[in-house]
Amino acid sequence: MSISHYIKDIGRGRDGARALNREQAADLMGQVLDGTVTDLELGAFCIAMRIKGETPEEMAGFLDATHARLNRLATNASHRVVVLPSYNGARKLPVLTPLLAHLLAREGFAVVVHGTATETTRVTSQEVLAAMGVKTLTHPQTQTVQQGELALIPTEVLCPGLKRLLDVRRTIGLRNPAHSLVKLMNPTTASDALLVSSYTHPEYAISMAATFELTGARAMLLRGTEGEVVADARRTPQMDAFVRGTRVPLVEVQTGSLMKLPDFPAEIDAANTARYIQDVLNDKLPIPEPLKRQVQAVRQALDL
């Protein structure tokens, strides 16, 4: 098989490219994830999509192909499951996705964090969670996550082909559809799991919202922190829920000047970030107000 006929459509530049329908997009992504395309075709696909941009129909098709190939984590039907993708890590601020995950688990949710390092210069949630003693699951189809528990799953365990696609960025230096896919997918058997997703640039807020509406996913969308799905601990961002294709506003963006900055660690390496998070969990330091509000918003979204 080949994806050259798809590249012919999507590779005509921003103005000349033609969008794929959902079925075509699923077929294309399926071949990419299965590893049946050549390296040349894979590079051409990534560059063409970077120039053209993905439509909601295309992202829905890419998701169809991805979900069909995931080694999903088994979940109990009676549990309320929250999914936190973590792929960007920290560059200037401590990565607090692990803190959010622990706060949600403490609320009694079954929390699933999935991800992999996509850049070598950032501190990852995986490194921080490892420093906190959280074990990595390696056989999601035979392991489960319980209420009040936190599970960490590497992308390569969920779908090796997806990990390979993410790694193309290291070669060509450009993001590709996989970097959006991982923030839109549900890696669990819980069809009503809440996907907490984030964007960095306004155009992705529009496209991701449209994809959630098209696919009818249960999700929460906010402007994240350095690409992570955790609210900026300094200022509360807008947060919206998506339930069966309907958008529901949850939290308005915080305006005005900041009264107080969080007590961040001086260094943001994994060990110092882990100690900071543990101090917050042990009530030695306060929970940043935006994270408190995000936990409340997750509870609201799951109750809709």
Set out the domains of the chain in order of their start, with CATH numbers: 4-69 (1.20.970.10), 74-303 (3.40.1030.10)
Statement: residue 280 has pLDDT above 60: yes
Buried b (16+ CB within 10 A) or exposed e, 66-96: bbeebebbebeeebbbbbbbbbbbbeebbbb
Say which residue the tokens 């696609």 belong to. 165
Q: Residues 92-114: pLDDT tens digits?
A: 899 999 999 999 999 999 999 99
How far apart are alpha carbons 225 and 236 in whole angstroms?
11
Q: Residues 50-68: pLDDT tens digits?
A: 999 999 999 999 999 999 9
Helix, strand, coil percentages (3-state) for the chain, rounded to 5, are: 45, 15, 40
Provide mean pLDDT across the span 220-229: 94
pTM of the model: 0.94
DSSP state of 91: S
Query: 246-251 and 239-243 as β-strands: parallel, antiparallel, unpaired?
Result: antiparallel
How far apart are alpha carbons 121 and 118 in whole angstroms?
9
Provide mean pLDDT across the span 73-90: 91
How far apart are alpha carbons 46 and 119 in whole angstroms?
17
Q: Residues 134-152: pLDDT tens digits?
A: 989 988 878 888 899 999 9
